[in-house]
Amino acid sequence: MIEALAKKIKLLILDVDGVLTDGRIIYDNFGDEFKCFDVHDGFGMYLLHRAGLKSVIITAKKTKVVERRAKDMRVAALYSDHRKLKIYKKVLSRFRVKDEEVCFMGDDLLDLPIIKRVGFAVAPPDARDEIKDSARYITQKKGGKGAVREVIEMILKSQGRWDKVIAEYSEVRNG
Report all structural domains of the chain as residue ranges with CATH numbers, in order of start: 2-165 (3.40.50.1000)
* Residue type for position 140: Q
Query: Which helix (DSSP H) or strand (DSSP E) does residue 93 occupy?
Result: helix 84-95
User: What's the CA gap between 147 and 149, in Å, rounded?
Assistant: 5
User: What's the CA gap between 24 and 35, in Å, rounded?
Assistant: 7
Output the pLDDT for position 76: 97
User: What's the CA gap between 171 and 130, in Å, rounded?
Assistant: 44
What average pLDDT does this structure show over 51-75? 94
Share of the chain above pLDDT 90, in %: 83
Output the pLDDT for position 9: 98
Query: Which helix (DSSP H) or strand (DSSP E) does residue 157 occupy?
Result: helix 147-158
User: What's the CA gap between 164 and 157, in Å, rounded?
Assistant: 10
pTM, entire model: 0.93
Render pLDDT for 23-55 as a digit per residue (tens, 0 to 9). 888 888 888 888 889 999 999 999 999 999 999
